[in-house]
């Protein structure tokens, strides 16, 4: 009976698309795309909508002490659930699919199980994890890390946002400071459906990515202290120019990545200078450096080279430079059994598959040390993400969600 169910059930793409589009309207931007930064009013509205859908599907919904929302569908037996999930917070210029697809794809799988009156052997759930993006609070993956006991609850609650708010206060303000203890729940397994957010699948004409793991991520905030002075009267040799130093760092990390080659990437995505005026040498600059590599030793090398460059810059330009680590994740490998399963189920549905690493961070990496974990990627049109033009074709969204359904039926067992 398990075989028959597994082989015949299919997700309903119209139902999935209508949820993706409805959630995309929450925090929708005038030119398209979404801004739903973690724990803002828009995030609250998105959470409320997803919780209402979870309840309509008959899930038992809990909210934990850092705001993670988990909806559980009972199985024939109690015990640790097999979880799907992702996030619904977005970057400031987000699209409809990053994170949202994994959550809503999970709900679509639940709807299919309901329609087919399938009772799985073990419970099945969908998680919505707090602040995956890290665009408002650091670190990224904050909620899933706390959920899997890898980030201390107090550290998570004490995180301060880019707009100076404490995470605990923001959770209370939007009504998502839950009571479910965080850090102790262990899943029987975890699978996350996600858009690739890069160009590989589209370029190679492949429908499904069986994700092997996530590359290492290092985020550093750099604070530079210079001296304000008159732009017209101060000789070039007498400046302590914080804006110039910020620019030098941005150029350095780009050249570093190009020099190291292979999988090293480097980004300065945020720069603020003070007083930010046309005729004043900047006395202060703050910037972020995002370094990533699939090889932890090479990532350490990039970090060491950045540190040496900052030391030299400090001396050469007579500025103060202080750094603060915002996030550091070693590369994560997913369970071979889950990678194999994603590949097998995709092929059983007739889809082309490629095994590949993830360039982006994901909630799945928080689960990987604790339970068999995997991810399913689908193509991103033109490889664009963290951009309002992020897009994936409905046929690919449908393909990925059908693979998710089969993975869930395989791991949770369809008992009836």
List interacting residues with Mn ion (CB under 5 A): 98-99, 133
Q: Measured from the CB of residue 133, what is the shortest distance to ligand GLV in angstroms?
A: 5
Matching residue, tokens 């963290």: 386
Total site size for ligand GLV, rule CB under 6 A: 4
Buried b (16+ CB within 10 A) or exposed e, 72-92: bbbbeeeeebbbbbbbbbbbb
Q: Which of 332, 295, 327 is nearest to 151 (CA)?
A: 327
Q: Where are the alpha helices (DSSP H) in 116-230?
A: 142-147, 153-157, 167-174, 200-204
Q: Which C-beta is closer to Mn ion: that of 65 or that of 133? A: 133
Return the one option of ligand GLV, Mn ion, none that residue 42 interacts with (CB less than 5 to 8 A, by type): none
Per CB under 6 A, the list member of 65, 89, 133, 196 interacting with ligand GLV is 133
Q: Which conformational region is residue 197 in: left (phi greater than 0), alpha (psi within -120 to 50 degrees), or beta? A: left
Residue 46 binding result from ligand GLV, Mn ion, none, given CB thresholds of 5 to 8 Å by partner type: none
Q: What is the DSSP letter of 281?
A: E
CB–CB of 209/378 below 8 Å? yes
CB of 357 to ligand GLV, least distance (A): 12
| Cα–Cα dist 238/224, whole Å | 17
Site residues (CB under 6 A) for ligand GLV, limited to 359-378: 360-361
Report, in Å, the least distance between residue 416 CB and Mn ion.
34
Closer of 98 and 303 to Mn ion (Cβ): 98
Smaller CB separation from ligand GLV, 342 or 360: 360
- The CA R_g of the chain, rounded to the nearest whole Å, is 23
**Distances from the Cα of 201 to the Cα of 19, 209, 295, 377, 383, angstroms:** 25, 7, 22, 9, 9
Please choose which of ligand GLV, Mn ion, none residue 65 contacts, taking the beta carbon within 5 to 8 angstroms, the exact cut-off set by kind.
none
Q: How far apart are CA 249 and CA 319, in angstroms?
A: 13
Nearer Cβ to ligand GLV (201/360): 360
- Rounded to a whole number of angstroms, the minimum distance from the CB of residue 366 to ligand GLV is 13
Which one, 99 or 106, has the nearer CB to Mn ion? 99
Per CB under 6 A, 89 contacts ligand GLV: no
361 binds, among Mn ion, ligand GLV, none (CB under 5 to 8 A by kind): ligand GLV
Binding mask 333-362 for ligand GLV (x = CB under 6 A): ---------------------------xx-
Measured from the CB atom, is 42 or 241 closer to Mn ion? 42
The closest residue (CB) to Mn ion is 99
Minimum gap (Å) between residue 369 Cβ and ligand GLV: 18
Give yes or no for a contact between 206 and 356, defined as CB atoms under 8 angstroms apart: no
Interior/surface letters 299-325, b for 16+ CB within 10 angstroms, e for the rest: bebbbebbeeebeebbeebebebeeee
Nearer to Mn ion by C-beta: 120 or 148? 148
Nearest approach in angstroms of CB 118 to Mn ion is 28
CA distance 151 to 183: 8
Q: Which of 9, 140, 170, 192 binds ligand GLV (CB under 6 A)?
A: 140
For ligand GLV, the closer of residues 129 and 176 by Cβ is: 129
Burial class (CB in 10 A: 0-12, 13-18, 19+), 135: buried
Of 138, 130, 178, whose CA–CA distance to 155 is shortest?
Answer: 138
Residues in contact with ligand GLV by CB under 6 A are 133, 140, 360-361
């Amino acid at each position: 009976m398990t075989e028959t169910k597994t082989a015949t059930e299919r997700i309903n793409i119209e139902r999935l698309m209508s949820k993706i589009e409805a959630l995309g309207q929450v925090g929708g931007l005038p030119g398209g795309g979404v801004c739903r930064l973690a724990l803002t009013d828009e995030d609250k509205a998105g959470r409320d909508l997803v919780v209402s859908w979870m309840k309509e599907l008959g899930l038992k919904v809990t909210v934990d002490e850092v705001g993670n929302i988990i909806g559980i569908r009972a199985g024939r037996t109690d015990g640790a659930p097999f979880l799907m999930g992702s996030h619904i917070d977005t970057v400031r210029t987000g699209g409809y699919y990053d994170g949202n697809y994994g959550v809503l794809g999970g709900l679509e799988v639940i709807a299919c199980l309901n329609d087919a009156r399938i009772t799985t052997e073990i419970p099945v759930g969908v998680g919505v994890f707090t602040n995956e993006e890290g665009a408002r609070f650091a670190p990224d993956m904050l909620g899933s890390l706390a959920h899997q006991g890898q980030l201390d609850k107090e550290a998570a609650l004490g995180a301060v946002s880019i707009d100076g708010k404490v995470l605990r206060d923001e959770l209370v303000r939007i009504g998502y400071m839950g009571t479910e203890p965080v850090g102790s729940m262990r899943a029987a397994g975890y699978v996350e459906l996600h858009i690739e957010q890069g160009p590989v699948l589209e370029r190679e004409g492949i429908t499904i990515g069986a994700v092997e793991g996530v590359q290492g991520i290092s985020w550093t905030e750099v604070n530079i202290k210079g001296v304000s002075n008159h732009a017209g009267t101060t000789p070039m040799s007498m400046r302590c120019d914080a804006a110039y130093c910020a620019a030098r760092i941005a150029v350095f990390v780009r050249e570093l990545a190009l020099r190291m080659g292979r999988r090293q990437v480097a980004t300065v995505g945020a720069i603020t200078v003070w007083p930010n005026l046309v005729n004043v040498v900047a006395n202060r600059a703050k910037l972020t450096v995002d370094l990533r590599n699939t090889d932890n030793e090479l990532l350490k090398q990039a970090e060491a080279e950045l540190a040496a460059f900052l030391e030299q810059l400090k001396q050469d330009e007579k500025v103060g430079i202080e750094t603060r680590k915002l996030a550091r994740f070693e590369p994560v490998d997913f369970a071979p059994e889950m990678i194999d399963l994603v590949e097998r189920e995709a092929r059983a549905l007739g889809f082309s598959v490629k095994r590949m690493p993830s360039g982006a961070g994901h909630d799945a990496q928080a689960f990987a040390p604790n339970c068999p974990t995997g991810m399913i990627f689908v193509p991103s049109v033109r490889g664009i993400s963290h951009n309002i033009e992020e897009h994936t074709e409905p046929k690919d969204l449908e393909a990925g969600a059908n693979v998710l359904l089969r993975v869930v039926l395989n791991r949770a067992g369809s008992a009836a």
